[in-house]
Amino acid sequence: MPGKLNFNYSHTFDGVIWNIITAGDEKVLFLEVRNQERRQVSFSSLLYTENKFLWREKKLEEQWWISLSVASRGVVVYTMYLETANPDRKAVIAYRTKDHSLLWWENDFSLQEVRGPQLHGFSTKLSKPLALDLLTGKPIEPQSAAKTTNQADIHPIQYTDDSGHFATVKTFLQGKLNFEPVMSLEYLEHDGLIFISYYRMENGLANYLLVVTEEGDVVLHEKLAEQLKGIGLDTFFILDGCVFFVKNRKELVSYSIV
């Protein structure tokens, strides 16, 4: 049975890792990194099984009001906000995953979900739902395919401090490590290991990731962030037998479960 972690790699970026999306069919992680001082956003594509960037720190024509949306079937899609005072005014831009070459651009589309080879959303100008072909961006008849999801991603369950599950884990942490978690925690059992992302007061609010075996032996105990203004969600995830997390807001870290 698995019961330990082996360090894979880490990558540090010039800004805050704001968002990570996956394309499990391509074994790729897409990262959105924001540099608040320069008001600049960049994007990277990591082939996570090989620790190889397909492209790194790509910047688009829009320097700030753009974000990652979805990736599927060799295409990564961004949402661009056209009017800062009107969040409903959006455009979508699609690029090839492998070389970040531009595929198409649609100036009036609010993306809601991917269904097979189609993007489903809403046109503000037409005031009606709209479906676009993922590869061409052309309007097409909507199909009844199921919503596309990445089943490879495994995410923890969040428990707030008013739940019974939080109290159970709190008792374990108090007995095991002699401290008291606060506010919220994220919990996941996977391949003989127990993953707990918790918060404690330590010169402000700090976030830690604890990994223990089913017998209670500590495998990893690492501070993820400190002096936080609030709690986060999905502070770690598991993909293809590896755990991924962001440390100090700027460093992507990966361990394999063995």
Domain boundaries defined on the chain:
14-133, 157-233
What is the pTM (predicted TM-score) of this model? Answer: 0.92
pLDDT for residue 145: 63
pLDDT for residue 148: 66
pLDDT for residue 40: 97
**Fold classified for 14-133:** Lipocalin (2.40.128)
Q: CB neighbours (10 Å) of residue 164? A: 8
pLDDT tens-digit profile, the chain (258 residues): 557 999 999 999 999 999 999 986 789 999 999 999 999 999 999 999 999 999 999 999 999 999 999 999 999 999 999 988 787 789 999 999 999 999 999 999 999 999 989 999 999 888 899 999 999 999 999 876 666 666 578 999 999 999 999 999 999 999 989 989 999 999 999 999 999 999 999 989 999 999 999 999 999 999 999 999 999 999 999 999 999 999 999 999 999 999
pLDDT for residue 3: 76
3-state secondary structure the chain: CCCCEEEEEEEECCCEEEEEEEECCCCEEEEEEEECCCCEEEEEEEECCCCEEEEEEECCCCCCCEEEEEEECCEEEEEEEEECCEEEEEEEEEEECCCCCEEEEECCCEEEEEECCEEEEEECCCCEEEEEECCCCCECCCCCCCCCCCCCCECCEEEECCCHHHHHHHHHHHHHHCCCCCCEEEEEEECCEEEEEEEEECCCEEEEEEEEECCCCEEEEEEEEEEECCCCCCCEEEECCEEEEEECCCEEEEEEEC
How many angstroms separate the CA atoms of 187 and 111, rounded?
31
Q: CB neighbours (10 Å) of residue 54? A: 18
